């Protein structure tokens, strides 16, 4: 692991790091905020998954999480959204919603993406092992959250690993990717036409198929330009109601899809996680 930068913030350390990933076959960059803590202490961790076109840098620079993480004693880890580098295939049409920056947190099975686009394995296995080895983290106290495509990732990973993640939340998540254009393009492009494989990466379908977590927190901007066509939180509300999952879905008037929205409610989400990671 190489240290790209470290900065003091709110008494803690904000770092950016890179390493050679065996999952993706590329170098990967991620950020970690470690709040001030007693020597030898092990800290709960919240994983933050970013959305389409983003890298680790978006939330690191704009998320406004460090004050709350310091107050609550939480680490925050932000990985990249896809593999990058020479030889990594991109959307041949050059669109923003597939390929580089749009890994959708799946392990691709369709060529040519299957060689590098293994973000599920990277986020759920390889990066946690690296973080556990190099940082003062208590892996028995993990939460996960994300935004948009990253909200999709947080929900699906949390639902499939309920024993690992004690708290799951999202900002404007893609809740039913198999039902909306962004998701159909990504799941088809990475996984092919196998409907069962799609359902394992669709939060609403996972709940319909029996996946359970005790509770979810979702914030959604009411002025989000993607709300009607791509996000459709009402699908998640129905699935959770049918399954008996305690969903707190907050429709925030006037807020859009940007980091102005995310930063406005970041502290709320971190407090929600801290209560469940105590």
Q: Are 101 and 7 in contact (CB under 8 A)?
A: no
Cα(237)–Cα(194) distance, integer angstroms: 26
The answer for residues whose C-beta is within 8 angstroms of residue 60's C-beta and 6 or more apart is 14, 16, 31, 78
Concerning whether 269 is annotated as a catalytic residue, the answer is: no
Burial 232-265 (b: 16+ CB within 10 A, else e): bbebbbebbeeeebebebeebeebbbebebbebb
Q: Given 148, 169, 201, 219, which residue is catalytic?
A: 148
Q: Are 23 and 124 in contact (CB under 8 A)?
A: no
Q: Given 201, 257, 269, 273, which residue is catalytic?
A: 257
pLDDT number for residue 152 = 98
Given a cut of 50, the residues of the chain with pLDDT beneath it are none
Concerning whether 31 is annotated as a catalytic residue, the answer is: no
What are 224-228's contacts with CB under 8 Å, separation 24+? 224/172, 224/255, 224/256, 224/257, 224/261, 225/256, 225/257, 226/148, 226/172, 226/257, 227/172
Q: Are 46 and 34 in contact (CB under 8 A)?
A: no
User: What separation in angstroms does the CA of 149 have from each of 17, 67, 87, 203, 278?
Assistant: 23, 25, 24, 12, 28
CA angle 219, 221, 222 (to 5 degrees): 125
pLDDT number for residue 195 = 85
| Tokens describing residue 185 | 């393009």
Nearest to 36 by CA among 12, 14, 10, 13: 12
pLDDT number for residue 221 = 98
pLDDT digits (tens, 9 = 90+) for 241-263: 999 999 999 999 999 999 999 99
pLDDT number for residue 4 = 98
| Tokens describing residue 51 | 């959305």
- Kindly state the helix (H) or strand (E) to which residue 184 belongs, with its residue range: helix 181-191
Domains by residue range for the chain, with CATH: 2-276 (3.40.50.1820)
Concerning whether 37 is annotated as a catalytic residue, the answer is: no
> Counting Cβ atoms within 10 Å, is residue 193 exposed (0-12), middle (13-18) or buried (19+)?
exposed
pLDDT number for residue 95 = 95
Q: Given 169, 219, 224, 269, which residue is catalytic?
A: 224
Cα(88)–Cα(266) distance, integer angstroms: 33
pLDDT number for residue 189 = 97
Q: Are 43 and 74 in contact (CB under 8 A)?
A: yes
Cα(216)–Cα(238) distance, integer angstroms: 13
């Amino acid at each position: 692991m190489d240290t790209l930068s470290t900065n003091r913030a709110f008494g803690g350390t904000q770092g950016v790091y890179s390493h050679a990933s065996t999952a993706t076959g590329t170098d990967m960059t991620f950020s970690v905020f470690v709040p001030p803590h007693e020597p030898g202490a092990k800290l709960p961790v919240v994983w933050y998954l970013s959305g389409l076109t983003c890298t680790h840098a978006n939330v690191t620079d704009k998320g406004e999480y460090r004050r709350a993480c310091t107050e609550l004693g939480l680490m925050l880890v932000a990985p990249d959204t896809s593999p990058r580098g020479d030889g990594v295939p991109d959307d041949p049409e050059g669109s923003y919603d597939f390929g580089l920056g749009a890994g959708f947190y799946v392990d691709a099975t369709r060529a040519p993406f299957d060689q590098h686009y293994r973000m599920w394995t990277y986020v759920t296995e390889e990066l946690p092992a690296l973080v556990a080895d190099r940082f003062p983290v208590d892996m028995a106290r993990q939460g996960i959250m994300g935004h948009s495509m990253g909200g999709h990732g947080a929900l699906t990973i949390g639902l499939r690993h309920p024993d690992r993640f004690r708290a799951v939340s999202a900002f404007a998540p893609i809740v039913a990717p198999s039902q909306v254009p962004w998701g159909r393009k990504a799941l088809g492009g990475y996984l092919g036409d196998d409907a069962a494989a799609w359902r394992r990466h669709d939060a609403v379908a996972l709940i319909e198929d029996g996946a359970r977590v005790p509770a979810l927190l979702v914030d959604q901007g009411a002025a989000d330009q993607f709300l009607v066509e791509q996000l459709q939180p009402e699908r998640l509300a129905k699935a959770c109601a049918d399954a008996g999952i305690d969903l707190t879905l907050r429709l925030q008037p006037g807020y859009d899809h940007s980091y102005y929205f995310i930063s406005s409610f970041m502290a709320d989400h971190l407090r929600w996680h801290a209560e469940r990671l105590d």
